[in-house]
Amino acid sequence: MGRLVLVGAIGGDAQKASALAFGAAAARAGVIVLTGGGDQCDDEVKNAVIEGARSTGEGGRYIGILPGTSDPGGKVVWDRRANGLLIHTALPHFVRNLINGVTPDVLVAFGGSRGTLAEVAFALAAGKPLFFYGNGSKGPAVPRLRRNLKECFERDEEDNVRTFLAEPLRVWPEIAGKAWTADDLLQLLEYRLGLAEDWDKSVDALVGQCIAAARMKGPLGSSPTGFPGLPIDPESKQRFEREIEAISE
């Protein structure tokens, strides 16, 4: 009955080894991973986490929330796989980011830049438990995210704030029942990153902690995800919940 824990993985590139290990650990633990990719194999976190989950031979389950669409008519495409689902959202990547932040029960943020920071902000606004993990070639996640917050959003980068924070809020004016502004999200980021520390234990322990944090929020068996629905697909929210239950079987 119900569904499995949904763990989001967000982050930038050059972190393939860490992302593969995380995806494999998630598969061993029997959770569903959600990222912004999954349609190719490269060193980006969004693709490598799903590759790691699928490569274990243990039925790794996954959801990929992709920007744009493979359909020339600009329609939403639901690409169902044996143990997963890729959704071509027909949305720009910077708008799609909100879905990645608010949908999972809990998230792990690898190091990244504008898109990752936006996803972190949306997750915080939705009240999602959040962990930071990074031991790739670009170093720990938290220092990198702090640097990029200053460079991308705090140094008169109005275009980035408008594109990555304000524009998604225009599409979905509320997150978890509250209206947010881009300034609100920036304050959340500054505060949370000021307190954050990188996970320093094993990747299996990290996935275990994600499961524990998700379950502390309440029983998942009958509770919906945070998926906000797609603007051009009114039935998408209900369909997503059905797909999650099917993948959980």
pLDDT tens-digit readout, 10-59: 998 889 999 999 999 999 999 999 999 998 888 899 999 999 999 877 67
Q: Give the H/E segment covering residue 132.
A: strand 130-132
206-234: string of b/e by CB count within 10 Å (b at 16+)? bbebbbebbeeeeebeeeebbbbebeebe
User: Rounded to whole angstroms, what are the CA distances from 77 to 34, 68, 82, 233?
Assistant: 17, 9, 16, 10
Q: Which pLDDT does position 55 carry in this prediction?
A: 87
CA 246 to chain centre: 20
* Length of the chain counted residue by residue: 249
Q: 211-246: per-residue pLDDT in tens?
A: 999 988 777 666 899 999 999 899 999 999 999 999
30-68: string of b/e by CB count within 10 Å (b at 16+)? ebbbbbbbbeeeebbbbbbbbbbbbeeeeebbbbbbbbe
- The label of the residue with tokens 């200053």 reads 150
CA 31 to chain centre: 14
Domain boundaries of the chain, sorted by first residue: 6-248
pTM, to two decimals: 0.95
Q: Which pLDDT does position 221 carry in this prediction?
A: 63
Q: What is the average pLDDT value for the chain, to the nearest integer?
A: 92
Q: The domain 6-248: what is its CATH number? A: 3.40.50.450
